[in-house]
Structures are given as structure tokens and as C-alpha cells.
Chains A and B, each alone.
Chain A
Amino acid sequence: MSDPLAYLSIAEAAAQIKAGTLSPVDLTEAMIARRGTIDGALGSFVTPTDEVARSAAKAAETEIAAGRYRGPLHGIPVVLKEAFDTAGIRTTVGSKLLRDRVPEADATAWARLRDAGAVLLGKLETTEFCYGGPSDDSMFAPARNPWNAECYAGGSSSGAGVSLASGLALGALGTDTGGSIRLPAAYCGITGLMPSNGLVSRAGVFPLSATLDHVGPMARSVEDCAILLNVLAGYDAADPGSVARPALDYTADLGAGAKGLRVGLAGALAGEEAVSADGIAAYHAAAETYRALGADVREVDLPSLTDFATAQIVITLVEGYAIHEKDLQARRAEYSYHSRMRLSLGPFIRAVDYARALRLRDKLIADYNAAMADVDVVLAPGAPGAAPKAAGVGAFQFFSKPLVTMAANVLGVPALGFPAGMSEDGLPLAVQLMSKRFDDAVVLRAGAAFQAATDWHKARPPVG
């Protein structure tokens, strides 16, 4: 942690850039140099974009000096999961099938950051097609967890979790269909937001499930996620699932604290069959933190995690198979082991099963909305526990042991994952907050209150 710029927050860097005390060029060069020093052992970047970054940083510096400051992302170095299209920059989605794919246009979410003046440092490792992994036979080797190289970094936004935890960028974009933002956030010790369904455009992002896919920000603090969301949120006609909503400042309530906030405890999502003992302990400790902050903490009656997982797994497999059917038939050997094993389950789901899964989703949403009448947010474990050994993650592990993150995807509600403890082995533990659809500002307020009272999000891995 010798580099003084490595762990600057977006908020801190933006204030210094705006004041003229920090050069976007110097910040970008520091990030590029740090990547060259430590990412060889981590493997979070698959396509660095040094010259693109240098050009953007120089342009930002010139504009700001001329009085044309665009806002808090102007001159801020960011990174993208390799599922986001970038014009002229290779985007393989972690797959050998797309090894030579170079998009002609930017994904909407990246275009929004780009137009706000963000500086693209590069594209990051993702588990194949946002569903595989961790597989050594993917297009790129899995990024390694900076807390313990033998441990899984989480997926599928693996590279984003690793690069942020390692001080290689200030913010990132990830995607989340069953936990792909929140799991790497949990395993790497950073903060990630899966926004409400429809709030952030998915146009130009390689799909897995049209029903359950989400795009969201990843960073090292709730405040930085809110800053990113301010730019990301907005209607986009290019995404059929996009919803027009009034523009909000998601940073406005970050200082409002947790006093009076009604926090529901999601006991149904925190069973020992799905979450480790230390993960549950971190969850209970977080509840105590909210009580100490003056929140009204109470139990909330939610549907079972298995019901959420059933809907998530069936819907994802059918919609994913619809995308991959032809390639699985003709180019099966080019898929990584985990991807081809999982996606090949598609033909084993009948049309009536898919219809019933959608019907179950409707019921879960109705039950959840009823339960949320008495609370503002729901607190739940953020992952099954600390990061497991990567070699032990089986092809069907998250089918047999449902992920606590899957509930929010089925519901389409905002879910904020953030660090809330440390295991005996020195690995991060996490919790997540969910709220009602489009109450993204509420989970951000609650998460910011937690991070104002604790230091778990400030823990850094031993990467230099």
C-alpha cells in the first residue's frame, strides 16, 4: 500500500481534481504503473487500454483547466467487466468463441461514464459468458483473489472485484444475474450495487437472462457506488427492460444515518444450509450495528431461499440456453467446462416448467412486497461465507447450495453488498441490503450509515 493514490476514493479524487490539486494524468499513470507491478500475479486485466486512458486523462485535464469540469467522474480511472461492449476494443466475454470480437459501439452504461469524463483503464476478466467458472480452460485464466491466491475471487465480475480490492482502479461496472456483482464484492472485500431492474441500461452488454440481468457499479465504498449510479441511471430505448424514472441524486441522503430506519432481518435467507457460521455471525453483528445506530431492527417474513433459487436457476438456464443453443451444438469444445456443463441443462427444462418458474417469480414478488410494507430495507448475508478455494468450486455447486444473492435478481429490487467482517483465515465477510424496487437511494443511505460507523470496507489485501 505504498502508492498513496492506489486507494483514493472517487469522492476524494474528484474533490482534488476539481480543486486542481490532483492531475487526472498523474492519477491515470499511477494506476497504469501499479497494474504493471502487481497485476501479473492477479490477472484481473485481460485487455489494458493504456493509450486510450492516457488520451482521455489528458483531455480531461485540458478541459478542467479550461473551466469545463463535467462532474465527479471527470478524470476518474475506471474499468469494465469484459461483458461491456467498447467500440474498437476486443470484448470476448471470457470466451474462446468470441476471441476476435471487436464491437463497433459502446455499451450504453459505459457511454454514460465516458461522457461524464471517466477514463477507461481496461477490460477485466469475467467468468465465461457471465455464467461459467472458475475454469482454467476459459479464454483467460480466472483472476486470483488478492486476499489469498488459492481462493475464488467470486463471479462473474471477478476481475472487477480483484482490481478494485487491489487499488488498480477507482470504480468499475459489473453485471449481476444471480449475484455476479455482489459475490466478487463479498469475496474481495469491496462494495457493489445491483440496482433496481430497469434503472440502468443493459444495452451493449452480453446477455445471459433477459429477465434477471442487471448492470451496476462496483467500488470501494457506498458513496462511490452512489456517485457512479448518478451517471448510470436513466431510461434507454435500446434496452427493452429500461424504465423511465425521475432523475435522482443518489448521494443526497448518504449522510442521513440509520436512526429510525426500519431494518428487516431476512432470517429465511440466512439459514445454516446456505451460509457459513462466520457469515451468519457477521450478519448478526451488522444487525447489532444498526441497532446501535438507532435503527428499528425487526424480523421480516420472506419466502424461502430455495424458492428464490428455483426461479432464478430455471429462468436463467432457459434464457441462457436460448442464446447458446446453436453454439453448444456446433462449437461445444470451445466452451469452458463449467459453462458447457451448466448451459447444457437447458433442454431438460420443459416449457411448462419455465412458465411455472415465471409464475413462481410473480408470487415471490407479491409476497416480498407484502413483507416490505413494514420495513425500509432487508438485511441479509452477502454471500455463502468467505471465499472458498477456487479448485473446490464444482460445476453445479450453486445449484445444490443456492446463493443468498439470487433473491434480489428474482425480485428485481436493489441489492447492495459490502464488507461486514473478517473470517478467522483473514478473508472478507459481507452482508447485503435489499429494498423495494426503485428504492435504490434507501439501500445506499443504509449502507453509507454502516460504513460511517465501521471500518470493514477499509481493510486492504496484502498486494503491495
Chain B
Amino acid sequence: MTSEEIAQTLRAADLTLPADEMKTFEEGVAILKALIARLDDAPPTGSSQDDAS
């Protein structure tokens, strides 16, 4: 995400970050988005928690 896209998402959520925290926050967004990209490949399965033995 670009800095502007991150700012837009924050505004849409009614969240405000001070300017001196934005650089670190953008790094956090990048890490999160890299993890989320892995979810695209997760195959569908049924629920198994109730069956955990």
C-alpha cells in the first residue's frame, strides 16, 4: 500500500496517527500485508476444532 492509501484507510476508520509515528506504522502495514498475501493460497477445509483429538 502507498502512504496515501494507508492514510485513506486510517481516515475511513476515523483513526488519527501523529506524523512522527507514520513511518513505523507503514512498516507494520507492509509486514501485515505480506502475511495476508499468504492467505490467498489457503485451501478450503471444513471446521476441525470440534474434532481435535
Contact = CB atoms under 8 A, between A and B. Distances in A.
Contacts of A345: 28-29, 32
Contacts of A389: none
Given A309-B35, A314-B39, A348 B53 contact: no
Nearest to B33: A348
A349 B17 CA distance: 18
B53 A357 contact: no
Contacts of B3: none
Contact of B42 (A342, A347, A356): A356
Given A314-B35, A366-B45, A399-B32, A341 B53 contact: no
A342 B39 CA distance: 20
B8 to A, nearest CB: 10
Contacts of B53: 369, 372, 436-437
Contact of B15 (A329, A342, A360): A329
A306 interface: yes
Does more than half of chain B's interface fall in helix, strand or loop, or is it mixed?
Answer: helix
B46 A342 contact: no
B21 A399 contact: no
Contacts of B35: 306, 309-310, 313-314, 399
A301 interface: no
Nearest to B42: A360
Given A399-B28, A400-B31, A365 B36 contact: no
A341 B36 contact: no
Given A328-B15, A348-B9, A360-B39, A399 B49 contact: no
Contacts of A342: 28
Contact of B38 (A310, A348, A363, A396): A310
Interface string A348-391: 11000100110111110110010010000000000000000000
Given A347-B9, A360-B39, A369 B48 contact: yes
Contacts of B43: 363
B17 A344 contact: yes
A412 interface: yes
Nearest to B11: A347
B27 interface: yes
Contacts of B25: 341, 344
A362 B49 contact: yes
Interface residues of A, number: 43
Interface string A403-415: 0000000011100
A8 interface: no
Given A345-B32, A347-B15, A356 B24 contact: no
A170 B9 CA distance: 48
A134 to B, nearest CB: 16
A306 B32 CA distance: 12
Given A347-B10, A395-B28, A353 B39 contact: yes
A356 B44 CA distance: 8
B38 to A, nearest CB: 5
Contacts of B21: 337, 341
Q: Which of B29, B46, B52 has the most CB of A within 10 A?
A: B52
B13 interface: yes
B4 interface: no
B29 to A, nearest CB: 6
A164 B21 CA distance: 36
Contacts of B52: 365, 369, 411-413, 436-437
Contact of A313 (B1, B32, B47): B32
Contacts of A347: 9-10, 12-13, 15
A24 B2 CA distance: 62
A133 B27 CA distance: 18
A460 interface: no
Given A348-B29, A365-B49, 14 more contacts: A309-B35, A314-B35, A314-B39, A317-B32, A341-B25, A344-B17, A346-B13, A347-B9, A353-B39, A359-B44, A363-B42, A396-B24, A400-B31, A411-B52
The 9 closest A-B CB pairs, nearest first, are A347-B13, A356-B39, A437-B52, A396-B28, A360-B42, A366-B48, A310-B35, A365-B48, A399-B31
